[in-house]
């Protein structure tokens, strides 16, 4: 059949469209029991919730361990201060160095009367202890508050670690997790019938013991908890959502989109099945061959723009701008230097216009040397030079220079390959008419190789676009960094998917534009 390929493509698109429509319909009703995707969506949501709970538990446990260590440190400082105050009060009481003129009113008078009568002042000191030790009482109260906060923080840390372990067991009931140490209890003395300053000293000593126990417990939990949380994280990493679970969640969240895309594919399929002759007559080629990549690009852009709403839209818009900001200037300057180098490699090669083996070998060696260095290494090697040329070695703008250095040797080889495709007879004809090397290069080599040069420029630009994903290594931005940062570090996979879709769409746009320009520059098609 003459249009068998178009009809086959239409049949494939029709099946795909029908599958998307049915998936969208089933996903939209997945909340109802008994529907085809009900169990799968429920299982995927439960798995996602378990992973989220595990991650939240690990974060909370780490925070709780930090709080426990800080609270224990504060409690020790407060308890030591209270103990020092109590020791000072005991020393003052034992020396009986009371000043009747400066101590608290009634106490001073009582001490003066006791001394005049030759009586012991210790009983009077006990009676008036809360008065002249008011500052010590306040210090003891503050110490008690800090100790209780430290003990509560330790208990919270233990509970958070237990919750993290439970979250890991929810993911894997057979997970081998370490045990947490039992919390030690402080050895404290009973206050009993102690009174006055002796009672305050015992309280201070008890607070010191409790603070030390809290610090020991916090340290023990930190040591065991670090290992436990690593095990919990390993369990979570070993139980990611499967492709099927991600797919059903995606279908549930984007059911309407699936229906719309399925309907568009079904309409295109019907057109290919029912009217392939008219489509071929109108576009000179079957729709599938000419419009497939354009349709894919439009679909990718539509999907990306649909998902990128709100704050994500601002993030993606800036990411596209930063990516193009790095790609376009780097490609332009790469061709400013790479095009002449490519021409030089051709015209100085053996048997060409101006053979010069020495110059050709030197230029070729330099080009090969720079091409062999991976971009991420070249980025680091050029830090100092980048700082001189761009004014800074950090940031989006600074990446343009290493991109240019990495791309221009690649451009030189692409140009060399394109120019070598030019028919040597055309060059000989130009030489026979007395054309100079410059005239042959400008009016023969480059125009004849223009379609291939344009195609090479599109390939080079997409390569530079791929290199921009490593811009984050130099503090730069762009879609590649967004995909890595949010997808790998923050696990916000929707942002990773959108940025990846936009990168693919940009590559498709560049390639389509290159194909159109290549056709326009090809004089053989005119």
Please tell me the distance from the alpha carbon of residue 335 to that of residue 409, in angstroms, as a whole number. 9
Please report whether residue 327 resides in a domain. Answer: yes
Residue 241 has pLDDT above 50, yes or no: yes
**Residue 133's CB: how many other CB atoms inside 10 A?**
22
Residues 67-93 have a mean pLDDT of 85
Q: Are residues 270 and 355 in the same domain?
A: no
Q: Are residues 80 and 14 in the same domain?
A: no
Residues 443-447 have a mean pLDDT of 83
Please report whether residue 246 resides in a domain. Answer: no
**Residue 423's CB: how many other CB atoms inside 10 A?**
10
Q: Are residues 29 and 166 in the same domain?
A: no
Residue 286 has pLDDT above 50, yes or no: no
Please report whether residue 243 resides in a domain. Answer: no
Please report whether residue 280 resides in a domain. Answer: no
Please report whether residue 242 resides in a domain. Answer: no
Residue 238 has pLDDT above 60, yes or no: yes
Residues 143-153 have a mean pLDDT of 89
CB 249 within 8 A of CB 44: yes
DSSP 21-65: HHHHHHHHTTTSTTSTTHHHHHHHHHHHHHHHHHHHHHHHHHHHH
Please tell me the distance from the alpha carbon of residue 381 to that of residue 115, in angstroms, as a whole number. 86
Q: Please report, rounded to a whole number, the percentage of residues in the chain having pLDDT higher than 70.
A: 82
Q: CATH number of the domain that 417 lies in?
A: 1.10.3720.10
Q: Are residues 364 and 512 in the same domain?
A: yes
Q: Are residues 231 and 180 in the same domain?
A: yes
Residue 280 has pLDDT above 80, yes or no: no
Q: Are residues 299 and 153 in the same domain?
A: no
Residue 291 has pLDDT above 70, yes or no: no
Please tell me the distance from the alpha carbon of residue 390 to that of residue 393, in angstroms, as a whole number. 7
Residues 477-503 have a mean pLDDT of 77
Please report whether residue 247 resides in a domain. Answer: no
Residue of 229, 77, 258, 96 whose CA lies nearest to 157: 229
Residue 354 has pLDDT above 50, yes or no: yes
Please tell me the distance from the alpha carbon of residue 254 to that of residue 30, in angstroms, as a whole number. 12
Please tell me the distance from the alpha carbon of residue 136 to that of residue 130, in angstroms, as a whole number. 9
Residues 46-53 have a mean pLDDT of 84
Residues 13-39 have a mean pLDDT of 86
Provide the pLDDT for residue 234.
Answer: 86
Please tell me the distance from the alpha carbon of residue 43 to that of residue 157, in angstroms, as a whole number. 31
Helix pair angle (287-307, 4-28), 10° resolution: 20
Residue 101 has pLDDT above 50, yes or no: no
Q: Which of 60-69, 259-268, 321-330, 360-369 has the lowest mean pLDDT?
A: 259-268
Please report whether residue 202 resides in a domain. Answer: yes
Residue of 215, 198, 222 whose CA lies nearest to 146: 215
Q: Are residues 258 and 308 in the same domain?
A: no
Residue 420 has pLDDT above 50, yes or no: yes
Look at 121 and 434; give whichever has higher pLDDT.
Answer: 434
Q: Are residues 186 and 301 in the same domain?
A: no
Provide the pLDDT for residue 391.
Answer: 83
- Terminal Cα-to-Cα distance of the chain (whole angstroms): 30
Residue 285 has pLDDT above 50, yes or no: no
Per the structure, how many domains does the chain have? 3
**Residue 343's CB: how many other CB atoms inside 10 A?**
23
What's the pLDDT band for 290 if we cut at 50, 70, 90? very low
Report the chain's mean pLDDT, rounded to a whole number.
Answer: 80
Identify which of 94-103, 172-181, 330-339 has the greatest average pLDDT. Answer: 330-339
Q: Are residues 57 and 92 in the same domain?
A: yes
CB 56 within 8 A of CB 257: no
Please report whether residue 245 resides in a domain. Answer: no
Q: Are residues 442 and 327 in the same domain?
A: yes
Between the alpha carbon of residue 370 and those of residues 115, 337, 361, 367, the distances in Å are: 98, 14, 14, 5
Residues 427-435 have a mean pLDDT of 77
Please tell me the distance from the alpha carbon of residue 248 to that of residue 253, in angstroms, as a whole number. 9
Residue 100 has pLDDT above 50, yes or no: no
Q: How long is the chain?
A: 526
Provide the pLDDT for residue 281.
Answer: 57
Q: Are residues 71 and 28 in the same domain?
A: no
Residue 382 has pLDDT above 50, yes or no: yes
Please tell me the distance from the alpha carbon of residue 295 to that of residue 267, in angstroms, as a whole number. 13
Look at 414 and 48; give whichever has higher pLDDT.
Answer: 414
Q: What is the pLDDT of residues 198-216, one digit of tens each?
A: 777 888 888 888 889 889 9
Look at 310 and 242; give whichever has higher pLDDT.
Answer: 242
Residues 369-393 have a mean pLDDT of 86
- Whether the CA torsion 307, 312, 313, 319 is positive or negative: it is negative
Residue of 350, 349, 471, 340 whose CA lies nearest to 408: 340
Q: Are residues 360 and 449 in the same domain?
A: yes
Q: Which H helix or E strand runs over 282?
A: helix 276-283
Provide the pLDDT for residue 333.
Answer: 92
Residue 294 has pLDDT above 70, yes or no: no
Residue 345's domain comprises: 285-525
Look at 291 and 355; give whichever has higher pLDDT.
Answer: 355
């Amino acid at each position: 059949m003459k249009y068998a390929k178009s009809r086959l493509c239409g049949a494939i698109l029709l099946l795909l469209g029908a599958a998307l429509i049915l998936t969208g319909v089933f996903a939209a009703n997945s909340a109802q029991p008994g529907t085809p995707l009900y169990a799968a969506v429920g299982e995927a949501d439960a798995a996602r919730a378990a992973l989220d709970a595990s991650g939240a538990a690990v974060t909370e446990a780490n925070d709780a361990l930090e709080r426990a260590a800080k609270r224990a440190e504060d409690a020790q400082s407060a308890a030591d201060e209270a103990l020092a105050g109590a020791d000072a009060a005991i020393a003052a009481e034992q020396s009986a160095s009371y000043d009747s003129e400066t101590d608290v009113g009634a106490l001073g008078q009582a001490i003066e009367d006791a001394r005049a009568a030759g009586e012991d002042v210790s009983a009077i000191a006990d009676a008036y202890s809360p008065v002249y030790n008011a500052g010590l009482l306040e210090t003891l109260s503050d110490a008690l508050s800090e100790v209780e906060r430290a003990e509560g923080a330790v208990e919270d840390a233990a509970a958070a670690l237990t919750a993290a372990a439970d979250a890991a067991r929810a993911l894997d009931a057979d997970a081998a997790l370490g045990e947490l140490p039992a919390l030690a209890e402080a050895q404290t003395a009973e206050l009993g019938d102690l009174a006055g300053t002796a009672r305050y000293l015992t309280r201070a000593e008890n607070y010191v013991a409790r603070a030390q126990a809290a610090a020991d417990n916090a340290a023990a939990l930190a040591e065991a908890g670090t290992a436990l949380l690593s095990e919990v994280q390993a369990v979570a990493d070993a139980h990611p959502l499967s492709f099927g679970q991600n797919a059903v969640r995606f279908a549930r969240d984007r059911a309407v989109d699936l229906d719309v895309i399925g309907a568009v594919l079904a309409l295109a399929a019907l057109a290919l099945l029912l009217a392939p002759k008219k489509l071929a007559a109108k576009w000179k080629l079957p729709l599938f061959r000419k419009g497939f990549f354009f349709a894919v690009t439009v679909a990718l852009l539509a999907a990306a723009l649909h998902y990128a709403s709100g704050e994500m839209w601002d993030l993606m818009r800036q990411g596209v701008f930063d990516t193009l900001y790095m790609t376009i200037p780097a490609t332009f300057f790469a061709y400013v230097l790479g095009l002449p180098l490519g021409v030089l490699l051709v015209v100085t090669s053996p048997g060409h216009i101006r053979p010069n083996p020495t110059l050709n070998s030197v230029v070729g060696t330099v080009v090969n040397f720079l091409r062999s260095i991976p971009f991420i290494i070249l980025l680091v090697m050029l830090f100092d030079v980048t700082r001189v040329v761009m004014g800074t070695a950090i940031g989006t703008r600074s990446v343009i220079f290493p991109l240019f250095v990495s791309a221009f040797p690649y451009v030189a080889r692409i140009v060399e390959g394109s120019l070598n495709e030019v028919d040597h007879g055309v060059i000989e004809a130009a030489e026979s008419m007395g054309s100079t090397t410059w005239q042959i290069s400008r009016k023969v080599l480059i125009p004849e190789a223009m379609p291939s040069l344009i195609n090479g420029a599109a390939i080079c630009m997409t390569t530079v676009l791929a290199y921009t994903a490593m811009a984050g290594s130099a503090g730069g931005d762009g879609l590649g960094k967004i995909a890595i940062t949010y997808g790998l570090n923050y696990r916000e996979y929707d942002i990773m998917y959108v940025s990846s879709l936009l990168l693919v769409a940009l590559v498709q746009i560049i390639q389509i534009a290159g194909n159109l320009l290549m056709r326009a520059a090809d004089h053989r098609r005119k």
